[in-house]
Structure 1
């Protein structure tokens, strides 16, 4: 009996020794090697991020509390830049113009992109050709787009007003009338709607066809199928287009600056109606050399974008449908 117990004890001890962590594979060492390899692969991006993104952000945060004109060393001024930001009437005008532009441009962009995507979804073999046509304007440099805006929307001999005149409509002075400058820029922004069209078209292609068949059997028409089937299933892509479009609209700069503030623009066209926030920020920094004040403007814009994006994401929890989420 004692011998049998001794044998069982030895077998148990041997089994425990074989499965002990000492004899198990060294997963920790393996994971460290995997992590190191991954970091080496992405090290160029990390270096670029630290040099061209992280460090400029840190330095601009420092400049917000200084008076800096590039020529002289930064001089500490405390919260004077932020106080000036609050009291500066131009900041209020620029922020108001930017919000007005965003509120009108983003819905127009989304509606046009969704409409074109719905059309392309039924284009058959020609959808590839039209996808390319719609995306090509995105390859146009913004400076060229700004010049094109002046040519197309010229109040006297622009192409748009010539087309309107054929229908008996006398078009406004898009480039000189302050009441029509922002609507003209909003219309021109639809020139680059192609990227959003491709994103939404990909989402439409992912909608299961059996859902449409079930809706048809239940007697649902095109509008009800679109409202109750299509829109909920493409809502994540719509959210992406809305959020990215809002961020882009709040940073509107290149086309407007080229058309109204560039070296070749007519100074008589320059007025507060098209003074957007980033344009005002740019002019404070690179025309007036107020880099401390411009940094304060930049961080204020960052907080505004962060707040608006947070609100959009909070609302999306109720209106965006994610398949598989209860």
Structure 2
């Protein structure tokens, strides 16, 4: 009997081995290495020197880190809920279409297939002050368009607009969730005299709550790692990308308004070669993302009446 169990265990382990090996090589080992290097002074050229908590103490007095944290938290607090609300509204609207629903699903999903770098470049030129078509159209109706990516006040909202344009992936998920709500629930609520708002609040939202939680968690994690669009937008809007000055020199343009946490992490690690401090920044970001995820999951359980 014991031999049979051992053979079954060996067979099971053989099937799991490729996945376990991949997890170990590409997640566990890099994570452990990052934790170790975060306690060292390391630049790839010399032997790592143990410095204890110096890298973490350095964060407290890092003015660039403070600016990056503020911008990143702004993106999390604004971009994530706005994107979810906008996408949910679009999903609810498309779900009402009796004809042409497939066309609209495809139409709204296509922008999400555009590479982020290409989409950002296109958006910067569309919103370019003076020559961009968006401001030109606004001027035709008597509206003085903002400076968009060239304005510290409008740069982050411009990135939010870019995110809304490319929300097709989340739209498909929300649309599937909305269409999955049993029609019988709506019919019963209508017989009880519930209006559209009451049906949405009492039936749709509770039913799709797991999908909303998934969107919130993945949205927060994605925004905490917001890099490509902020880097490219600053580079193109500042003109640095066209003169070969190096993209890292334009990080945060204009006036640090788009300088996110990952941009500072990249700058520390690959421009200043302070890889020990960069690893400490990465570990701090991982801990924050994990903590926010745990909080969201616990609040979702409490809201649904489950025991945490």
CA shift for structure 1 position 127: 2.1
Q: How many Å separate the matches in 2 of 1:156 and 1:30? A: 77
5+ residue gaps, structure 1, are 1-25
Structure 1 residues 265, 295: closer, same or farther in 2, change over 3 A? farther
| Structure 1 partner of 2:195 | 221
Q: How many Å separate the matches in 1 of 2:113 and 2:62? A: 37
Pick aligned residue for 2:301 from 305, 311, 317:
317
| Structure 2 partner of 1:279 | 263
Structure 1 residues 37, 151: closer, same or farther in 2, change over 3 A? farther
CA shift for structure 1 position 320: 4.1
- Matched pairs, number: 297
Q: How many Å separate the matches in 1 of 2:30 and 2:235? A: 26
Asked if residue 264 in structure 1 is aligned to residue 241 in structure 2, the reply is yes
Structure 1 residues 235, 292: closer, same or farther in 2, change over 3 A? same
CA shift for structure 1 position 131: 2.0
Structure 1 residues 73, 270: closer, same or farther in 2, change over 3 A? farther
CA shift for structure 1 position 101: 1.1
CA shift for structure 1 position 202: 1.3
Where 2:222 maps in the other structure, the secondary structure is helix
Pick aligned residue for 1:255 from 229, 234, 242:
229
Root mean square deviation, CA, Å: 2.2
| Structure 2 partner of 1:66 | 40
Structure 1 residues 129, 82: closer, same or farther in 2, change over 3 A? same
Q: Give the 5 Å matches for 1:32-47.
A: 32-47=6-21
TM-score scaled to structure 2, two decimals?
0.89
CA shift for structure 1 position 37: 3.5
Pick aligned residue for 2:118 from 126, 139, 144:
144
Q: How many Å separate the matches in 1 of 2:301 and 2:222? A: 22
Q: How many Å separate the matches in 2 of 1:235 and 1:321? A: 13
CA shift for structure 1 position 133: 2.2
Structure 1 residues 220, 158: closer, same or farther in 2, change over 3 A? same
Q: How many Å separate the matches in 1 of 2:120 and 2:265? A: 19
Structure 1 residues 115, 284: closer, same or farther in 2, change over 3 A? same
| Structure 2 partner of 1:81 | 55
Structure 1 residues 36, 206: closer, same or farther in 2, change over 3 A? farther
Structure 1 residues 163, 321: closer, same or farther in 2, change over 3 A? farther
Contact 1:212 1:225 in 2 (8 A): yes
| Structure 2 partner of 1:18 | none
Asked if residue 53 in structure 1 is aligned to residue 27 in structure 2, the reply is yes
Contact 1:239 1:320 in 2 (8 A): no
CA shift for structure 1 position 31: 5.2
| Structure 1 partner of 2:246 | none
Structure with bigger gyration radius: 1
5+ residue gaps, structure 2, are 244-248
| Structure 1 partner of 2:285 | 301
| Structure 2 partner of 1:21 | none
Contact 1:155 1:171 in 2 (8 A): yes
| Structure 1 partner of 2:209 | 235
Greater CA deviation, 280-289 or 116-125? Answer: 116-125
Deviations 1:79-138 (A, max 9, x none): 111111111011111001100111010111111110111112122352223222222222
Q: How many Å separate the matches in 2 of 1:264 and 1:248? A: 25
Contact 1:233 1:321 in 2 (8 A): no
| Structure 1 partner of 2:167 | 193
Structure 1 residues 302, 211: closer, same or farther in 2, change over 3 A? same
Where 2:157 maps in the other structure, the secondary structure is helix
